[in-house]
Amino acid sequence: MQFSEAILKRKSTRAFLNKSVAPEKIQRILDLARHAPSGVNTQPWQVAVVSGVTKKQLDQKLEEAFRSGLKSNMDYQYYPKQWKEPFKSRRKACGLKMYSTLNISRDDKQRQLDQWAANYRAFDAPVVLFFFMDESAQQGSFLDYGMFLQSVMLAAVDQGLATCPQASLSEYPQIVKEVLDQDEDSLLICGMALGYEDCDALINSYRTDREEFSSFTCFFD
């Protein structure tokens, strides 16, 4: 598969087939992704591959935390505390596109809640990856991590698999760290659903818009 094909095919998949993923495929994905660049070769990534009974246990605990109204307590600030344009409008359009695709009205709060709760089950994917980083890491390591995560997702496409990177899976780091026996001082960066896309699922039929490159690029001669 060519790079141009993989990068255009990658998307955030939110419905997966009930089909297990061979460990060899996961190993291949991570073996490719480890070649991502990082400042002075720090390679700050640590990955927990979760499936089976452990995933079911985490799914239940995270969804219960969300539905109970437990306030999220991420290890770092992901989104801005106050949204401004154009990011505010892009965020709104992203949510509206998903809910309109699913025919969930603005007044149907229960269906909205149920759909959002699926985040905490990694959309019932057979595998979820959790990404950790040492607490001593600074902003530069987050840049490194972004390149690693993109490498994971593109390698997954190459293996015929689909992914969804999820900040929501890092909203309750204390739960994840306890179940996975991780150092309490580590940083939980995010989670990522991994599996085979359910191509018949309505939620997988839409794509978010992207700005034309000319809107964010300047050339200087």
Q: Torsion-angle region of residue 43: left (phi > 0), alpha (psi -120 to 50) or beta?
A: left
- Position 220 in a domain: no
The domain in which residue 151 lies consists of: 3-210
Average pLDDT over the chain, rounded to an integer: 96
pLDDT surpassing 90 at residue 1: no
Residue 55, in any domain of the structure: yes
CATH code of 162's domain: 3.40.109.10
Q: Cβ(38)–Cβ(144) under 8 Å?
A: yes
Has residue 219 been placed in a domain?
no
Cα 74 to Cα 17, 66, 79, 130, 207, distances in angstroms: 29, 13, 11, 14, 27
What integer pLDDT is reported at residue 133 of this predicted model?
A: 98
The C-alpha angle 197, 117, 57, rounded to 5 degrees, equals 80
Q: How confident is the model at residue 25 (pLDDT cuts 50, 70, 90)?
A: very high
- pTM score, two decimals? 0.95
Q: pLDDT tens-digit profile of 65-110?
A: 999 999 999 999 999 999 999 999 999 999 999 999 999 998 999 9
User: Is 76 within a domain?
Assistant: yes
In the predicted model, what is the mean pLDDT of residues 43-56?
98
What pLDDT sits at residue 111?
A: 94
Decide if 221 is inside a domain.
no
Q: Is the pLDDT of residue 213 over 90?
A: yes
Domain contains 123: yes
The whole-number average pLDDT for the span 195-218 is 96
Number of domains forming the structure of the chain: 1
In a domain, residue 97? The reply is yes
- Asked if residue 28 belongs to a domain, the reply is yes
pLDDT in tens, 105-154: 989 999 999 999 999 999 999 999 999 999 999 999 999 999 999 999 99
